[in-house]
Amino acid sequence: MNRALWPQNAMRFDAPYEQLEGAVMWGAGGNAQGPKVPPGTYTVKVSSGGWSQSQTFTLRADPRYQPEMTPEEGQQQLRIAREVGGWIKVLYDDVRTMRDLKSQADKLVENAPNNATVARAATALRDRLTSVEGDITQLQGEGGQDSLNFPGRMDNQLIVLYSNVVGPERRLGTPAMERYDDLKPEATALIDRANTAIKEGVTEFNAVATKAGLAPLVIK
């Protein structure tokens, strides 16, 4: 007889984001885990050569938590987990983009050491991007204990919320839903602000760089 197991840590989708390199924050370190597969009816298929057979099965939430999570509540939990995880991914991708743009600008300044106009444009771009970056993630922390000395930024708040959505086996409680409602407008506004800072900042710098005969910045 053969036996196939679906272990607890495998009943999850892929994580929606990757932890930002060097990020230091309170209560939510380490790599993200994916959201749980919601309760419901699923199909398993076994194949061997040209033979295959399918059979449905029911996945339940942990029955020790009452009332037991329903499939509808599980779908809501999955939707919110993916939404919050998506905000984190966008913000972290923006931070990586900002850091790359600042690095590109620094190299262009090195190639034009006597051009004060390009240097001023690079400083303006760096200041603009760093201002937004500092609202996305804490820039002063360097070690684990720094999370106690410097307050967390938006990423810290979102990751703590995400952890409280994907972690529990029970249905979402009122505190998590209220925090979700509080953070949604703030997160979306910060995403818009980051997008604007990147696009407008690059446009303004490139106007100066190309006039000086330098290659433009490239948003990767």
122: tokens are 């690079």
Phi, psi (deg, nearest 5) at residue 177: -65, -40
The rounded Cα 148 to chain-centroid distance in angstroms is 22
Please, are residues 159 and 25 in contact by the beta-carbon 8 Å criterion? yes
pLDDT tens string, the chain, 220 residues long: the values are 677 666 656 788 989 999 888 777 766 555 578 999 999 999 989 999 999 999 999 999 888 889 999 999 999 999 999 999 999 999 999 999 999 999 999 999 998 888 999 999 999 999 999 999 999 999 886 665 666 677 789 999 999 999 999 988 888 889 999 999 999 999 999 999 999 999 999 999 999 999 999 999 999 9
3-state secondary structure (DSSP) of residue 177? helix
The rounded Cα 214 to chain-centroid distance in angstroms is 34
Supply the mean pLDDT for the chain.
90
The rounded Cα 84 to chain-centroid distance in angstroms is 8
CA distance 92 to 154: 11
Q: Hey, what amino acid is at 181?
A: D
CA distance 132 to 162: 22
Closest by CA position to 132, among listed 197, 186, 183: 197
Continuous segment of H or E residues that includes residue 124:
helix 116-136
Q: How far, CA to CA in Å, does 167 sit from each of 29, 81, 161?
A: 14, 10, 10
Closest by CA position to 214, among listed 69, 111, 71: 111
- Cα R_g (the chain), whole angstroms: 23
3-state secondary structure (DSSP) of residue 54? strand
1: tokens are 């007889």
Q: What is the pTM of this model?
A: 0.88
Continuous segment of H or E residues that includes residue 168:
none
- For position 179, what pLDDT does the model report? 96
Residues forming beta bridges with residue 42, ordered by sequence position: 57
